Amino acid sequence: MTPEETELETKDLAFRIANYCEDKKAIDTEVLDIRGVSDISDFIVICSGDSPAQLKAIARNVEESMTDFQHVEPVLKEGQYGDKWYLLDYSDVIVHIIEHNAREFYNLEELWQNALFIPRNEWAEI
């Protein structure tokens, strides 16, 4: 696989994950391209929910959809029912599903301010 094909595949995966979040009414979903900013991953998807049940539903939907449709399991997952933050690590794409108030407190977007924020119209409903 060429580097261009790998880039497209990874970007497509991030976009699909963002849409899986949106399927469960995630709030303020963001896709960040962190290539060139960090070596930990290529993309980060951040979204919020209003309740532990919604956060769990979003995390479950992402994980099940990735397994069923993309045949990809997370390398690492953190968070349990009642938690305010779920993390799913797909190596090239890291997913943060975080309670709205906790998201404001931790301000991940500020942490990744040098990343390229991909506009919603580029990834929504691909």
Q: What is the pLDDT along the chain (126 residues), one digit of tens a residue?
A: 555 545 558 999 999 999 999 999 999 999 999 999 999 999 999 999 999 999 999 999 999 999 998 889 999 999 876 789 999 999 999 999 999 999 999 999 999 999 999 999 999 876
Number of domains making up the chain: 1
Cβ of 111: how many Cβ atoms within 10 Å? 10
Is residue 72 within 8 A of residue 13, CB to CB? The reply is yes
Distance of CA 9 to the CA centre of its chain: 15
CATH number for the domain spanning 102: value is 3.30.460.10
Looking at residue 80, its pLDDT comes to 72
CA distance 88 to 122: 22
Looking at residue 70, its pLDDT comes to 86
Range of the domain at 72: 3-123
| Residues facing residue 87 across a β-bridge | 78, 96
Looking at residue 63, its pLDDT comes to 96
Is residue 92 within 8 A of residue 13, CB to CB? The reply is yes
Helix crossing, 52-65 with 3-23: angle to 10°? 140
